[in-house]
Structure 1
Amino acid sequence: MHRITIIGGGFAGLIAAITAAEAGAKVTVYEAHHTLGGRARTAEGPYRTNEGPHALYKGGPHWTWLRQRDLIGELAPLPPLEAARLRLRHKGALRRTPPFAMLKLLRRTAEQAPVDQDFKTWATNIAGEEGATAAAHYSAVALFHHDPGTLSAAFVQERLRRATKLPPEAHYPRGGWARVIDRMAARAWNLGVRVETLTRVYALPNLPSSIPSGAPADLPSSLPTDRGPVIVATSLDAARTLLRDSSLTWTSGRTALLDLALRTRRGDAFAVSDLDAPGWIERFTAQDRTLAPAGEQLLQGQIPIAPHESRADGITRAEELLDLAFPAWRDRVTYRREALANGRTGAVDLPGTSWRDRPRIDRGDGVYLAGDQVAAPGVLSEVSFNSALEAVSLALGTRTRQSVDLKHA
């Protein structure tokens, strides 16, 4: 029986744990926090805000994998009337439809965008500057980057197509992502996976003896020597510290998050996309009323901000969108929370790079990476999923039934 150690009990770590256990491995998961889920956690209490993703994209490989194991659970459908309440800010005003020039970039017959050119330049040649700018800003809903137009055209085009596909790919697990994580944790437990929460790993036995500042003197959280292959399923920043590897870096984004609960008012928008600047506000109780008490609506604003901008700058822009789309919202607030997601929104690829150029999964000496900023294809959480399957496949030295052949992806 193989022995596999997984550091990190988020989405990628649980995917890896379940896959390895199904293949017959003896698996131990170490999680630094008292709960599993990572950025897929959902807050307890009357306002069930998600720290990370809110939706599953049905077109991704993880959808089939989760469905086969009955891990998605009940979905919260978006009523057709609510879906019709998508609003777009363009030239300072709210509208129901995107500018015509932007539609040229959404056609399925549009040419494949190049990897080595930025999206704004490529899209301007097709749809003009106005259409290119609007499309770039709309794509921020799947990018969380303050200037999508400067990114690889191929990278942005894939996410723009997925975010605007009809019927929509986005599906919402009822009760938030925590319900999916709970089911995944239960399956791991039933497969015999050992989970150690509140256990932060500071060192691996085969790495140099230098210990990071803040680590306990006796290192009670270092791994045993018979740990077997190790899959590091943490953020890239945490992996860089743990593995003492300064090369573990990749571009990500910074996003100001504003969670609000408002007293319900008929006619509120389902979502507002800012085409004048990257930004998005969504009313999540439109599809799942269990996320807030009766008579209240739960919203989240996601405003990407530049490196020189503050969280307050992003919150100000979110409030400007709220002023347009949610009349008298300040008088209806029953709950408010602000946060900053710094480098926690997945990888973004600059011109001339693709997912293949990100930090590789196989780090040598039986250590493998999994997460949303490593060398695996996909959109949003699909990167975590694909990298976790590939890490398990490499760790076991064989192709698992679900593994992705990244050489040909």
Structure 2
Amino acid sequence: MSNEITVIGGGLAGLVAAIACAEGGASVTLHEAHRTLGGRGRATPAPYVAHEGAHVFYADGPHWSWLTERGLAGPLGTYNTRMMTHTFFRADGRLRRVPPAGFLRMAGRTPLLRAPVDRDFRSWASARFGERTAERAASAISVVTYDADTGRLSAAFVWELIGRVFAPKRPAVRWPIGGWQAVLDRLAARAAGLGVRVELGSRVTAPPDTPTIVATELASARALLGDASLTWESGHYAMLDLAVRDDRRDAFIVFDLDEGGFHESYSMQDPSTVPAGETLFQIGMPVREGEGGAGARRRLDALADAAVPGRGDRTTWSRTATARGRTGALDLPGRTWRDRPAIDRGDGVFLAGDMVAAPGMRGEISINSALRAASGALRAAIPSHRAGS
């Protein structure tokens, strides 16, 4: 049997899968339909380096170990005094340095209390912490779900995310210098060094005869494999990237407990993402059911005005975008990550990406699923291969 493996999709999941397969001794060909690698991890070119949505790593899982063991995470931005003193929570229409007391008490319980899978977060959290605190918590974690009604999701799913982000502990968030584009560039270089053949502008219309990893958006995988079951819940998010001339009043981070929005600076932790004397932000707002992009944009603008005072006279660059159905997996009541589309599809075909059956959140799901898909593909391509060998 040949040791050839095909990877379809050159985003984060596809690159990780290609590297893992090549490290396992396979001959790997990666097909990417676009003219550049990166998928949703791509960034805009310098001098304004912005992403499609908030892009950070959390250094508390196997995905991070895999990256750091290979030197792929690269140099990291760190907290500084300005960042710590310019982190805010928006509640009742105003910015405050400390979240409401009820929210703090709830976040402190995350290491101690388990939430049920089969109940929605809103009803479960309201019964324990009060309706207002539950709604604020759901809004605060919308930065991860990209969903305007996070309270409808599984209590266990939302509670785990709240614990990851807000539990009282040493912060695990990491910002790669140069953004995720720099990480993607290192992944691409690693793949090339291992002999992975990369075919750009190559749109595959049917699975090849070799063991294959489909590392595309779920909608694309559904079309490629002709499998209508490849669906899952996802979010709907409006984004504004904004560069302004520096002002010490600008917020570093704003968690919007009122509307579910999120504001973060790219450049306070990584000055390489913007020209000298300027600051680069991304502001996001989940789109409500039936609202449309225009309504979400009005709410987004209100958050931007609060976080970046006088931005209209200071703006040097901006862009807008909307993401729907490609913002990571969301688990409804009664479902967990194990219920998402399975990685092993049978007949030597495997899925990888941020909406399949692997743990983590967004990019972590992509990495973890890619490693599992690679393990399966290696066993299919090289009969003597064993997981972890």
TM-score tier after normalising by the smaller chain length: over 0.9
Distance, in Å, in 2 between the alignment partners of 1:399 and 1:328 is 59
TM-aligned CA deviation for residue 78 of structure 1: 2.2
The answer (yes or no) to whether the contact 1:119–1:149 under 8 Å persists in 2 is: yes
**Aligned pair 1:76/2:77, yes or no?**
yes
The answer (yes or no) to whether the contact 1:255–1:341 under 8 Å persists in 2 is: yes
Please give the secondary structure, in 2, of the residue aligned with 1:336: strand
**Aligned pair 1:10/2:42, yes or no?**
no
Distance, in Å, in 1 between the alignment partners of 2:218 and 2:344 is 14
**Aligned pair 1:401/2:383, yes or no?**
no
**Aligned pair 1:382/2:384, yes or no?**
no
CA distances 1:288-337 after superposition (whole Å, capped 9, x unpaired): 11111111111101111124222222221111112222211111111110
* Cα pair distance change 1:139/1:120, threshold 3 Å: same
Deviates more, 1:24-33 or 1:119-128: 119-128
**Aligned pair 1:32/2:33, yes or no?**
yes
Distance, in Å, in 2 between the alignment partners of 1:259 and 1:315 is 12
Count of aligned positions: 381
Match of 1:123 in 2: 125
Match of 1:65 in 2: 66
1:171 counterpart (174, 183, 191): 174
CA distances 1:202-226 after superposition (whole Å, capped 9, x unpaired): 123xxxxxxxxxxxxxxxxxx4xxx
Instruction: Please tell me the residue identity of whatever aligns with 1:145.
Output: D
Distance, in Å, in 1 between the alignment partners of 2:124 and 2:304 is 32
Match of 1:276 in 2: 258
Match of 1:211 in 2: none
Distance, in Å, in 1 between the alignment partners of 2:276 and 2:113 is 47
CA distances 1:359-395 after superposition (whole Å, capped 9, x unpaired): 1111112111000001111122111111111111112
Deviates more, 1:35-44 or 1:324-333: 324-333
Q: How do residues 128-147 of structure 1 correspond to structure 2 at under 5 angstroms?
A: 128-147=130-149
1:336 counterpart (302, 315, 318): 318
TM-aligned CA deviation for residue 62 of structure 1: 1.2
Q: How do residues 166-245 of structure 1 correspond to structure 2 at under 5 angstroms?
A: 166-204=169-207, 223=208, 227-245=209-227
CA distances 1:54-83 after superposition (whole Å, capped 9, x unpaired): 211111211111111011111111213312
Distance, in Å, in 1 between the alignment partners of 2:295 and 2:229 is 31
Give structure 1 stretches of 5+ with no counterpart. 205-222, 403-409
The answer (yes or no) to whether the contact 1:142–1:160 under 8 Å persists in 2 is: no
Q: What's the TM-score once normalised by structure 2's chain length?
A: 0.95
Distance, in Å, in 2 between the alignment partners of 1:16 and 1:243 is 19
Aligned CA-pair RMSD: 1.4
CA distances 1:124-163 after superposition (whole Å, capped 9, x unpaired): 1221111111111101111111111110001001111111
Please give the secondary structure, in 1, of the residue aligned with 2:377: helix
Match of 1:350 in 2: 332
Q: How do residues 267-306 of structure 1 correspond to structure 2 at under 5 angstroms?
A: 267-306=249-288
TM-aligned CA deviation for residue 53 of structure 1: 4.6
The answer (yes or no) to whether the contact 2:63–2:367 under 8 Å persists in 1 is: yes
Q: How do residues 45-60 of structure 1 correspond to structure 2 at under 5 angstroms?
A: 45-60=46-61
Please give the secondary structure, in 2, of the residue aligned with 1:368: strand
Distance, in Å, in 1 between the alignment partners of 2:232 and 2:386 is 28
TM-aligned CA deviation for residue 122 of structure 1: 1.0
Instruction: Please tell me the residue identity of whatever aligns with 1:139.
Output: I
Please give the secondary structure, in 1, of the residue aligned with 2:220: helix
Distance, in Å, in 2 between the alignment partners of 1:74 and 1:175 is 9
Distance, in Å, in 2 between the alignment partners of 1:326 and 1:44 is 23
Segments of 4+ moved more than 4 angstroms: none
Distance, in Å, in 2 between the alignment partners of 1:135 and 1:376 is 25
Instruction: Please tell me the residue identity of whatever aligns with 2:56.
Output: A
Deviates more, 1:373-382 or 1:16-25: 373-382
Deviates more, 1:302-311 or 1:34-43: 302-311
* Cα pair distance change 1:80/1:380, threshold 3 Å: farther
The answer (yes or no) to whether the contact 1:119–1:153 under 8 Å persists in 2 is: yes
CA distances 1:73-95 after superposition (whole Å, capped 9, x unpaired): 11111213312211111111211
Instruction: Please tell me the residue identity of whatever aligns with 1:169.
Output: A
Instruction: Please tell me the residue identity of whatever aligns with 2:55.
Output: H
Please give the secondary structure, in 1, of the residue aligned with 2:231: coil
**Aligned pair 1:102/2:103, yes or no?**
yes
Q: What's the TM-score once normalised by structure 1's chain length?
A: 0.90
Give structure 2 stretches of 5+ with no counterpart. 380-384
1:155 counterpart (157, 162, 178): 157
TM-aligned CA deviation for residue 109 of structure 1: 4.4
